[in-house]
Amino acid sequence: MVRPFGFEIDDKKLKRAGLDYWDKLDIYYYNSIEEFFEKNDGAYFFFTTKGRQVHSEARYPEDKPVYIIFGREDAGLPEELLYAHPDECVRIPMRNTLRSLNLSNSVAIATYEVLRQWDYPDLGREGKLTKYTW
């Protein structure tokens, strides 16, 4: 997570939203986007309503770390950053009459597209009924 962000991690409501998952996360904090880039090498994808490529058409490599990067919900990513990385800017298709999707929904969509392309590593693929057997 790159500071500044518009919420606090220790916020009671934020912790409640991730109720069963906090112990599964490795959260790293950076004071600037420059510090993030200095400390992390991999493939970067900038999710933005201004992207020229659809997120599902991008190829997310499996042989190096992939970073899906989002901006603040109210402002998005800085245009200077987007302009410097035009081929890595991707968008989630949506209606032209809408401003943008909710940030948490966008992160979920992006994450599952990467996982889909990687054939859902370490994820369960079969559901079970509680009263019946398939």
- Domain carrying residue 24: 1-40
Share of the chain above pLDDT 90, in %: 67
Residues 29 and 81 in one domain: no
**Tens digit of each residue's pLDDT (9 = 90 or more) over 81-105:** 999 999 999 999 999 888 778 888 9
- Say what the pLDDT of residue 8 is: 67
Q: Provide the domain count of the chain.
A: 2
Report residue 4 as tokens. Answer: 């500044």
**Tens digit of each residue's pLDDT (9 = 90 or more) over 9-27:** 666 666 666 667 777 888 8
Residues 14 and 61 in one domain: no
Residues 27 and 84 in one domain: no
- Say what the pLDDT of residue 100 is: 79
Q: With 90 as the cut, is the pLDDT of residue 121 above it?
A: yes
Confidence of residue 3 (pLDDT cuts 50, 70, 90): confident
Q: Is 18 marked as binding a ligand?
A: no
Residues 31 and 51 in one domain: no
Residues 34 and 65 in one domain: no
Q: Is 100 marked as binding a ligand?
A: yes
Q: Can you tell me the distance from the alpha carbon of 51 to that of 42, in angstroms, rounded to the nearest whole number?
A: 20
- The pTM of this model reads 0.87
